Amino acid sequence: MTSPAESPVPLALIVDDDPTFCMLSRMSLEQEDLRVEEATSGQAAIDVAASTMPDIIILDLQMPGMDGYATCRQLRALPGGEFVPILIMTGLDDVDSIAKAYDVGATDFIVKPCHGLILSQRVRYMLRASHNLAALRSSQSRLAQAQRIAQLGGWEWDLVRNRMEMSEAACRILGLAPDSREHDQAAYLVQVHEDDRALVAEAMREAAADGTGLDLDHRITSSDGGERIVHLLGEMLPGEGEQARRMFGTVQDVTDKRANEAKIYFLANYDNHTHLPNRSLFLHRVAQAITCGAGRSVIGALLVLSLDRYHKIYDLHGSRSGDHIVKDVAERLQHALSAGVTIAQYTGAESPVLARLSDGQFAAFLTNLSEPEDSARVARSFLDALVRPFQVGTSSLTLSANIGIAIPGSDGMEAELLLQNAGAALQAANNRGHNCYQFYSDTMNVSIAARVNLEQDLRAAVSGNQFILHYQPQVDILSERVIGFEALIRWQHPTRGLVSPAEFIPVAEEEELIIQMSEWVITNVAHQQRLWHKTGLAPTAVSINLSGLHFRQRNLASQIKALVYAEGGNPQDIELELTESVLMTDASTTTTTLKELKDSGFRLAIDDFGTGYSSLAYLQRFPIDTIKIDQAFVKDLKLGKADSPIMRAIIGMGRALKLHIVAEGVETREQLAFLRMQGCEAYQGYLFSKPVPAHQLQHLLRDRLSDEASKTSERLRTRLAS
């Protein structure tokens, strides 16, 4: 193999029927380190060249059969033969023979006999020239290919003669015939889109007059009537006199490039689904509007709207339906914005801006309102626009939202600060309920800061294991014996002490920390049960609350079972509590998950029963073991009171379905007596014990163990007596 640093030895083909001449020529050429092949006829030369094209051919004109003229003509017709140098050698030195030789394709002509040195030097010169021409052709080919790829062409404009020389690529881009002789400024301008023609003509005139150059985009019209965008670039060539009146430049088809740039700009600044400005562009436009209004008494408002249950829309109906609803929301808000601004007596020329900030959040910026309070009318028009149900397939969906409002000037003069304060007002509106709007006040950021600090502390608590478990006994309503416990998580804050679950559980659910916390509870309950069992205490059932977010995780049953087994626990000693609203979110999926949990050995309970919207049909369908009556129905119970039909109905329904019934929040003897008379089986509440740490339950567990032992002995005596 020839190394990259080495060039192959050139091959010379001598075509002559004179053996003496062939021998002498071979000797001369081989001394120049050339490889030499011989052919004694024209046909033999063609056969050699068809197999391996030589680097140079020395051809005699006068040969028997096919003469040198015909041979030269056929050699040129072979693949690769159009560029090979052919040196004609003959004893004929008349002008006609020489002219004819050049006509059939000869590269050069030499009269023989000639000295060997002359021949070898002539061949060496022709080989160098051939090599340089080949390199030039290769360079031109690569340049043409690069120009085709870049869709770039070159041109040169003689300003004195008004002639434009254009490359083939430039003609192709502009739709001009490459062999046309009519290339001038007018020919160029004819191809320019008529709406851009005056602009391009003026730019060319100024460039010619001032010697500055050209740098602009414009449209051209193709022969089929389509439009393309080209970038015209040119500069004056240096020189003196007429030479200085020439401009050299390029023209490039940038249609696809500009389209891609526009797409990139769109993706960076607009929401892909609604085509509204995104957060970045919205803040930029708000900042521009505030800057333009500086020094004038311009009244404006920034509104932030947040859809309720946004993520549930996607969970329940899928991403395609969710995207459709979001587009519908955007269209309604745009329509409501124009209507609301009219209602608010909008007086300015600037258009209001509507944007999509994030998944379920939209924002609007208004300027030139008559009064700041007019923004409330726009907010109300937004909320009213969402009242009409949205169509999802064959069903309909009603949405609600809340809005926060900040006023430029009193609530800040920077776009980011205004948006932040409108967000604080939105949080306040969320706390009030649904379909509310709220103006910003300075005190709101205090609560927002507290919420942010709580979230940060909660994340530290999850990673730093700052939680503890308290257990509240569940008691048999007739015997007053402990039959189980409910595990309740508590947060032992390093500086604040015990933090109420009512304060941190909602934050944990919003920030999706609740899954890690639930897994921590399951792991520690199983660990505690194993410790009780190792100390000889009876197996004790423990109830654990399961959040909706955790319940919707894939492979839930296998994950929880793995956590229990990892601590040496038993799923049969654990009861998982879920609220009615969680169970009814997607009844078909819920049934599958509940069955998997049941097959894994867990008991299942409905927590806070009576506060949701479960139906009797689903209670029969779900594999539930226990219903826990919400304390809201227990707190007002009194013995002999006639207005407790809901309690009687719940207990009666549970007994009919053969479910275990536990009443929560029992605090008085009167409540206990009522529950006992109605047939409720168990209760938990402060009447018996508040939630306490595990080490305070030892005596209750020993009493239960003693009771279990006495029951076992009694059963044994009964069998012996029989």
Cα–chain center distance at 590: 30
Please give the CATH number for the structural domain made up of 270-442.
Answer: 3.30.70.270
End-to-end CA separation in angstroms for the chain: 105
Q: How many CA atoms lie within 13 A of 321 on its CB side?
A: 17
- Candidates 711, 710, 712, 701; CA nearest to 538 is 701
pLDDT at position 722 is 39
11-145 CATH: 3.40.50.2300
Q: How many CA atoms lie within 13 A of 342 on its CB side?
A: 5
Q: Locate the domains of the chain by residue range.
A: 11-145, 151-259, 270-442, 466-710
Low-confidence ranges of the chain (pLDDT < 70): 1-7, 92-93, 137-151, 179-182, 238-244, 294-298, 340-350, 444-449, 538-539, 611-618, 638-643, 702-722
**Residue 303 CA to its chain's centroid (Å):** 27
> What pLDDT score does 391 carry?
84
Query: How crowded is residue 67: how many other Cβ atoms within 10 Å of its Cβ?
Result: 15
CA distances (Å), origin 464, targets 503, 550, 599:
19, 21, 34
**Radius of gyration of the chain from its Cα atoms, rounded to whole angstroms:** 46
In angstroms, rounded to a whole number, what is the distance separating the alpha carbons of residues 313 and 321?
8
CATH of domain 466-710: 3.20.20.450
- Using a 10 angstrom Cβ sphere, with 0-12 exposed, 13-18 middle and 19 or more buried, the burial of residue 413 is middle
Global pTM? 0.49
Per the structure block, which two tokens stand in for 187?
Answer: 């020919």
Tens digit of each residue's pLDDT (9 = 90 or more) over 503-541: 899 889 878 899 999 999 999 999 999 998 888 776 689
- Assign 575 to helix, strand or coil: strand
Residue 297's pLDDT is what? 59
List C-alpha distances in Å: 717 to 448, 705, 712: 67, 18, 9
Q: What is the pLDDT of residue 359?
A: 85
Contacts of 185 (CB under 8 A, 6+ apart): 157, 162, 164, 204
Q: Is the dihedral of CA 654, 659, 660, 664 positive or negative?
A: negative
Superfamily of structural domain 151-259? PAS domain (3.30.450.20)
Q: Tell me the CB-side half-sphere exposure of residue 605, using CA atoms within 13 A.
A: 24
Judge contact between 318 and 329, C-beta under 8 A: no
